[in-house]
Amino acid sequence: MVSKKGLPDYLQKIMALCIFIFILPLFILIIFLIVVFDKKPIFFLQIRIGKDEKPFQIFKFRTINQQQKVTFLGRFLRKYSLDELPQLLNVIKGDMLLIGPRPLLPEYLPLYSIQQKKRHQIKPGLSGWAQIKGRNAISWQQKFELDVWYVENQSFILDIKIIVLTIKKIFFRPDGEVFSETFNGKN
């Protein structure tokens, strides 16, 4: 089993709570905009896989309509990763951390190689090494390699670096949306 050498869980929870309190006006504004322009529901809830392959429910702002099309507001929320803000509640709750491999869908579990399954030795994160190294612009194989590398090389300094680079990516993201392809186990 991998021992956590990065930012301690309790510190990440405290940081998530502080961030949540700080962005609460933005959080409320987004809720208001979704209700006004996109109607209800406000949140998108989905089962994802966490540490030790245990499922949990992830929170996101809803960005698609009933026809499964990304809304105008949804496009903006996704571009700046604002749809991910409710996951701070997952961090506060203890399902996730600020830093770790992104939690993926349960249907991917049987498709992982033994090496790829190492990503589940730690809690998933709101951001991670693969996120700052290319997010959806890199292949699944590259994402998994970066996730496993992070699991095996965690450190306090690396976590701080990922936080700084995540903030930089949010505010200085190149134009153009890149959506992730579905993982089919062959990438």
Q: Would you list the domain boundaries of the chain?
A: 9-171
Alpha carbon distance 106, 48 (integer Å): 6
Is 150 a residue whose pLDDT tops 60?
yes
Is 177 a residue whose pLDDT tops 60?
no
What does the block give as tokens for 82? 């604002």
**Ramachandran angles phi, psi of 125, nearest 5°:** -125, 160
Alpha carbon distance 97, 6 (integer Å): 11
Alpha carbon distance 75, 93 (integer Å): 27
- Name the pLDDT band for 137 (thresholds 50, 70, 90): confident
Is 38 a residue whose pLDDT tops 50?
yes
Mean pLDDT confidence for 166-175: 73
Separation of CA 57 from chain center = 13
DSSP 137: G
Q: Give the global pTM.
A: 0.85
Mean pLDDT confidence for 41-51: 95
Alpha carbon distance 37, 10 (integer Å): 37
User: Which pLDDT tens digit goes with each residue over 50-98?
Assistant: 999 999 999 999 999 888 889 899 999 988 889 999 999 999 999 999 9
Strands 125-127, 97-99: pairing is parallel
Alpha carbon distance 166, 175 (integer Å): 16
